[in-house]
Homo-oligomer: A and B are copies of this chain.
Amino acid sequence: MGAGFGGLAAAKALARAPVAVTVLDRTNHYLFQPLLYQVATGVLSPADIAVPTRFLLRRQRNVTVLLGDVTSIDLEKRLVSADDGRLALPFDYLIVATGARHSYFGNDDWEALAPGLKTLDDARQIRRRFLLALEEAEKVDDPEERRSLLTFVIVGGGPTGVELAGILPTLARKGFRRDFKRFDSAEVRVILLEGGPRLLPTFDEKLSRRACADLQELGVQCRTGAKVTRVTSDGVHIGDEMIRARTIFWAAGNAASPLIRMMGVETDRAGRAVVGLDLAVPGRPNVFVIGDAAAAEMSEPHVKGPQAADRRPQYVPGLAAAATQMGEHAARMIVNTLAGRPRTPFRYRDKGTMAVIGRGRAVADLRGLRLTGPVAFFTWLFVHLLYLAGFRNRLSVMVEWAYAYFTYRPGARLITGEDREAEEAWQARHGGSARQQAR
């Protein structure tokens, strides 16, 4: 269940196993999530970073790919139901790889005002708001109003927040420089808010400082220790201070998909399923939970990393590499069990983490090797092209990147009537205090 990094890795790892695999997902594609922020800013098209799941698995004879929305999971009866019960899938083994959504720490009404970035739809939503805010700014006469339209606040200083913050000023100031006639694109302000003491808290401290310096050079206001206490249609509040902004993006905090709670298993504070060392749910050896949906304790303590000093248990991080490894491990456990072999604990192999900052810079933390600046950027470029699934996308992405790099222009910035409707529908669904009611 789920065709992200974890689910796909598990399905592939079962290719030669004597099992019939069903991959069930709400969308028909495998998404390269690390590049989602580039779709959100119009640099890449959705099709550049997503490949139909059934295309990726077409050669694997023991796999059936189905498009469906899971509506219930019954671990006792070993049955997954989808599409309001129209689709019933009995199972012997279940691998749950449903990923995570963003978390608003109990303030779910903020979602209408500050969308997050996890899916292609999220990316379109952010792209839409970014472009519509600029279009609105071209239409208004009031300077106060224009300033608020041209202020973009990003909440959360993790990799997603940093990457979004890094790309916006370059696009707005250089890419769109001549496009708008009624305002100067230098008026665009990007503010990155982080509640903790530093950006990129999972990275080495030096890299955090460097990321902050790089962002400031690009014109991003970086504020750490800035805990958002309220989000309204006019802006964000940090205690008594208020930043007026019409467009806010959310990149702070994750929560596992609600399906996990539906299964009735033990969860942690973020709603992730607590799993054993073999990644199976305690007491349910035929049910595995992997990727961002799982709270998996490290089987051996990592000495590295800022949390190493304290004695709290360490968890497998929410990274693509980790999800892939977990998918492969869960598949191996099923094969082992079928063959009468014992289970083994999952061991996470750290592949490092990276975050790109604007155009031509990045920070990378590769098992102690710390890279910054252009070297990190080109490492990032190379690694991401390497991992992008499917030849076509790789070529297409290279064309788009080369274009965006040399011209500063995003190629995929389109707004259609449906986009504007979708914006309204989205507002309505989230009980929207209608940020764009005036539209």
Specify the chain B residue showing the minimal Cβ separation from A175: B55
In chain A between 397 and 439, which residues have their CB closer than 8 angstroms to a CB of chain B? 399-400, 403, 407, 409, 411-418, 421-422, 425, 438-439
User: Looking at the complex, which one of B50, B179, B180 makes contact with A414 (CB distance below 8 Å)?
Assistant: B50
Q: How would residues 34 to 45 of chain A score, 1 for a CB under 8 Å from any chain B CB and 0 otherwise?
A: 000000000001
Q: How would residues 85 to 125 of chain A score, 1 for a CB under 8 Å from any chain B CB and 0 otherwise?
A: 01100000000000000000000000000000001110010
User: Looking at the complex, which one of B87, B395, B413 makes contact with A139 (CB distance below 8 Å)?
Assistant: B87
Given contacts A46-B45, A47-B411, A87-B139, contact A417 B52 (CB under 8 A): no
Is the beta-carbon distance between A414 and B58 smaller than 8 angstroms? Answer: no
Q: Does A341 belong to the interface (CB within 8 Å)?
A: no
Total chain A interface residues with beta-carbon distance under 8 A: 59
Is the beta-carbon distance between A415 and B50 smaller than 8 angstroms? Answer: no
Taking the closest CB of chain B, its distance from the CB of A351, in whole angstroms, is: 27
Q: Does A83 belong to the interface (CB within 8 Å)?
A: yes
Q: Does A72 belong to the interface (CB within 8 Å)?
A: no
Is chain A's interface secondary structure helix, strand, loop, or mixed overall?
mixed
Specify the chain B residue showing the minimal Cβ separation from A50: B414
Specify the chain B residue showing the minimal Cβ separation from A123: B416
Given contacts A86-B438, A182-B64, contact A418 B58 (CB under 8 A): no
Is the beta-carbon distance between A414 and B27 smaller than 8 angstroms? Answer: yes
Specify the chain B residue showing the minimal Cβ separation from A26: B417
What are 24 A-B pairs at a CB distance below 8 A?
A27-B415, A28-B413, A45-B45, A45-B46, A45-B48, A46-B412, A47-B411, A52-B414, A55-B409, A64-B138, A64-B182, A65-B181, A67-B132, A67-B139, A86-B438, A119-B416, A119-B417, A120-B418, A124-B418, A395-B399, A395-B403, A396-B400, A418-B422, A425-B425
The 5 closest A-B pairs by CB, nearest first: A47-B412, A121-B418, A45-B45, A58-B178, A28-B415
List 6 additional contacts besides A45-B48, A83-B439, A393-B411; criterion CB under 8 Å: A28-B135, A29-B414, A45-B412, A86-B439, A395-B403, A399-B399
